[in-house]
Amino acid sequence: MTLLELVDVTASYGPIQVIDGVSLSVPEGGAVGILGANGAGKTTTLRAISGTVRAGGTIRFAGRDIRGLRPDQVAALGIAHVPEGRGTLGQLSVRENLMVGAYLRKGRQAIAADVDYCLDLFPQLRDRIGSRAAALSGGEQQMLAVGRAFMARPRLLLLDEASLGLAPGTAKTVYEAIRRLRLESGIAMVVVEQNANLAFSLVDTATVLETGRTALTGTTAELKGMDEIRRAYLGG
């Protein structure tokens, strides 16, 4: 029942090797966190999965080797990537952003229903449905980015630093909504998050990356029990 499996994945930007042996596995409907210091290769790991950076090793999704596919091909297989920096389409309205998310889908009514669901999930967006995304606040943009990813009805959601640059309260709201999304839709997730408290509120297991390699993997409870993890990521 493994949905996504990474074995010894490597990736580099030009001559600079950024990840060098990342392995992780996400079960159907599961949620895995990726922790690690800045530069440990968390974002690059997500990019390797979504095909936005060229990778080596094995990346298997739903039993199929997806390494080397273009980002749009990966998306078409059911992987939605909410990139670092949100990637909302600034000149398009909130509704249009959501519709772009549903680009590969057919069925007007189902799509309309999902737009409603997004607005229900993120009520702040309802009032701003006609505004351009560039005019939204950071928190609203993040909500929109998650909403747009959901609109594709993916089997797997890649979430990169959804709390980055947000006020603590806003970040919490965003994560609560994502948690609800996970419970109600059963979408599997890979969550990169600097704030481990937020990550642990969402995921079942987590992988710690260290300088581009998988250092250890454990359940949320196991990891929370480790002194070093607590000191490094949980602020205590």
Partner 1 sequence: MRNPLSAKPLSVEPQSVKPVATGNRTVRIVVLVLVAVVLLLAPLNLPPFANQTLVRIGVYAVAVLGLNIVMGYTGQVNLGQIFFVGLGAYVTAYGVKQGWNILLVFVLACLIAGVVGLLVALAAARLGGLAIAMVTIALPIVGVPLAKRLEGFTGGSQGISARFTDAPDWSGLYNDQWQYYIILLVTAAGFLLARNLVRGKYGRAFGVVKENEAVAASMGVSPYRTKVLAFTVASIFGGASGFLYLAAVQYTSPETLSFGHSISLLAAMVIGGAGSIAGSLIGGAYYVLVPLLTNAVDPGLTTVSQGAILLIVLFLLPEGLVSLPRVLRRITGRNRDRPGAPQRTVPAPAPGAGSEKQADQHQTEHQAIPDQTDQQQTIQHQTGRQDQA
Partner 2 sequence: MGTFIQLVVDGLSTGSIYAALALAIVLVNQATGLINFAQGGLAVLSGYVAYAFVQAGLPLVVAIILAVALSFVLGALAERFLVRRFERGDPDTAVVVTIGLLTLITGIIAVIWSYNNLGFPSLFPLTSVDILGAVVSVRSLATTVTIVVIMVVLQLLFLRTKLGLALRAVADSPASSALSGLPVGRLLMVGWGLAAALGAVAGVLVAPQLTLTPGMLDTALVYALAAVILGGLSSPIGCVVAAWAIGVLENLVAVYVPFIGHDLKIAVPFALIFVILILRPQGLFGRKVVVRV
User: What is the sign of the dihedral through the CA atoms of 168, 171, 177 and 182?
Assistant: negative
Binding flag, residue 46, partner 1 (CB under 8 A): no
Is residue 212 close enough to count as binding partner 2 by CB under 8 A? no
Per CB under 8 A, 43 contacts partner 1? yes
Least gap, CB of 202 to partner 1 (angstroms): 21
- Which residues neighbour 232 within 8 Å (Cβ) at sequence distance 6 or greater? 37
Q: How far is CA 177 from CA 25, 119, 121, 127, 173, in A?
A: 24, 11, 6, 17, 6
216 binds partner 1 (CB under 8 A): yes
Task: Tell me if 62 contacts partner 2 by CB under 8 A.
Answer: no
Cα gap 236→31, rounded to integer Å: 24
Assess 52 for contact with partner 2 (CB under 8 A). yes
Q: Which among 1-9, 55-63, 171-179, 204-212 is the span making contact with partner 1, rule CB under 8 A?
A: 204-212
Chosen from partner 1, partner 2, none, partner binding at 88 (C-beta under 5 to 8 Å by type): partner 2
**Residues 6 or more apart whose Cβ sits within 8 Å of residue 126:** 119
Closer to partner 1 by CB, 24 or 181: give it.
24
* Among positions 14, 130, 169, 236, the unique one binding partner 1 when judged by CB under 8 A: 14
Give min distance, CB of 3 to partner 2, in A. Answer: 18
Binding flag, residue 71, partner 2 (CB under 8 A): yes
Least spacing, CB of residue 2 vs partner 2, in Å: 23
| Distance between CA atoms of residues 128 and 119, nearest Å | 10
| Contact call for residue 87 and partner 2 (CB under 8 A) | yes
Contact call for residues 160 and 81 (beta carbons, < 8 A): yes
Query: What tokens appear for 51 in the block?
Result: 């095909």
Nearer to partner 2, 119 or 158 (CB): 158
Considering only residues 65, 72, 116, 210, which one is a binding residue for partner 2 as defined by CB under 8 A? 72
List Cα–Cα distances, 50 to 76, 77, 117, 221, 224, in angstroms.
11, 10, 25, 29, 29
- Quick check: 51 and 88 in contact, CB under 8 A? no
Q: Which of 9, 11, 75, 196 binds partner 2 (CB under 8 A)?
A: 75
Give the span between the Cα atoms of 10 and 17, in whole angstroms. 8
Amino acid, res. 89:
L
Binding site for partner 1 (CB under 8 A): 13-18, 36-39, 41, 43-44, 84, 208, 210-212, 215-216, 226, 228-229, 231-233
